[in-house]
Amino acid sequence: MSIRPLVLLSVLLVLGLPACETPAEAEPIRIGATMSETGAYATQGIPARNGYLLCQEHVNAEGGLLGRPIQFIIHDDESDSERAPALYEQLIEEEGVDAIMGPYGSTLTEAVAPVTERHGQVHISPLAATTSIWEQGREYLFMVLPPAELFLAGLIDMAAEAGYERVAVIHEDVLFPGAAAQGAVDLAQEMGMEVVLYSSYPSGTDDFSSLLDEVEAGEVEVLAMAASALDDFAQVVRQMKEADVNVQMFGTSGAVVEFQEALGDDAEYVFGLSAWEPSLPNPGNEAFVQAFEEAYGQAPSFHAAGGYGSCQLFVEAVEAAGSLDPDLLRETLLNLQTTTVFGDFDVDERGYQIANQGTFIQWQGGEKRVVWPQDVAVAEPWIPMPAWDDR
């Protein structure tokens, strides 16, 4: 991958970085990671990998890290929770990487964390958010995303503000969606709403008709859905339309451009969590978006920004510590308060994120528009969703 020189120079200037070269003879700092380049999580994993690689190019263009270039060594974990930890063992034991960065998602992070803990390696997790992962006494694991329990909070908050009372929450039966769904249920009940349906479905489900029958029978006003397999969201919308199942609001735990590409106009009015958007006032955001589009021919998703921002976080921690020593890095990260392209970073003693709260978008006119929280919103939410027959 190569970024056009003028574009890269403009990125460095906007980010306030010197446009200098890393000495070619310096031994690179080798950063090991896996990403889901194939399998169920590829939609999220590929842009996250690209975020890592774009950060690598920018860091090296500004002089590297500790006077050395950085080099990501990234293997495809195939979205497989058994393959991922074996690859991290390989990276640490056989390939001898100098540091590691995390894989995509909570399921793979939970699988990999015992390996990185056993080897005493700082593990910045770009895209894992399930609270339980940080409640097992781990010392080297750091969260960047908002906690999973907040991933549907924006939808519930907007629904309560609009006066809706009857909520259904459905989720894929794996780690992160389960936590996101439970958070939605807890918040809805705290706000005095009635949860008329709370149900899970197995991964790989392609027929949601029985769940949608329950949604219709329960006269549900607000349907909240959490999944790691993002194709599930589009499947549900298609089947809602086919069965003429109508709700006032439908929101998901993940907003990606592939959703709108798959559904076209049927994506309109749907809400989704996005931990990051190009419109957010994070430092260097505009330059990052421009560079990513130039490098990969598409706008970055929040997964791409998560990979890039987590790499920025690693670089800042190493520079502050002046070392790659894992224990020094750990102490530095525990005390670091900063803002990357991805957003605010601050953690408690568990390495658990306490600063990043995320945003909610809605598909309006074929575009993602930030509608929550109000202080960063660029549009008002479109409520209610029209019935299918009225579109």
Give me the pLDDT at residue 20, please: 54
Task: List, for residues 115-154, the tens digit of each pLDDT value.
Answer: 999 999 999 999 999 999 999 999 999 999 999 999 999 9
Task: List, for residues 305-333, the tens digit of each pLDDT value.
Answer: 999 999 999 999 999 999 999 999 999 99
Q: Over 80: is that where the pLDDT of 12 sits?
A: no
Give me the pLDDT at residue 10, please: 46
User: What's the average model confidence in pLDDT over 337-361?
Assistant: 95
Give me the pLDDT at residue 305, please: 97
Pairing type for strands 29-35 and 70-76 reads parallel
| CATH architecture assignment, domain 5-146+279-345 | 3-Layer(aba) Sandwich (3.40)
pTM attached to this predicted model: 0.82
Give me the pLDDT at residue 15, please: 52
Out of 59-68, 142-151, 251-260, 315-324, which region has the weakest mean confidence (pLDDT)?
251-260
**213: helix, coil or strand?**
helix
Q: Over 90: is that where the pLDDT of 16 sits?
A: no
Nearest to 291 by CA among 3, 1, 45, 44: 3
Q: Over 60: is that where the pLDDT of 1 sits?
A: no
Class for the domain spanning 149-277+359-390: alpha beta
Give me the pLDDT at residue 23, please: 54
User: What's the average model confidence in pLDDT over 358-371?
Assistant: 95
Binning the chain into helix, strand and coil, the percentages to the nearest 5 are 40, 20, 40
Task: List, for residues 22-57, the tens digit of each pLDDT value.
Answer: 555 689 999 999 999 999 999 999 999 999 999 999
Contact 331, 140 (CB under 8 A): no
Contact 282, 342 (CB under 8 A): yes
H or E, element range at 274: strand 271-274
Which residue pairs, CB below 8 angstroms and at least 24 apart, start in 116-122? 116/88, 116/92, 116/140, 116/141, 117/141, 119/92, 120/326, 120/327, 121/92, 121/326, 122/317, 122/326, 122/329, 122/330, 122/333
Q: Over 80: is that where the pLDDT of 11 sits?
A: no
Residues of the chain with CATH 3.40.50.2300: 5-146+279-345, 149-277+359-390
Task: List, for residues 274-312, the tens digit of each pLDDT value.
Answer: 999 998 999 999 999 999 999 999 999 999 999 999 999
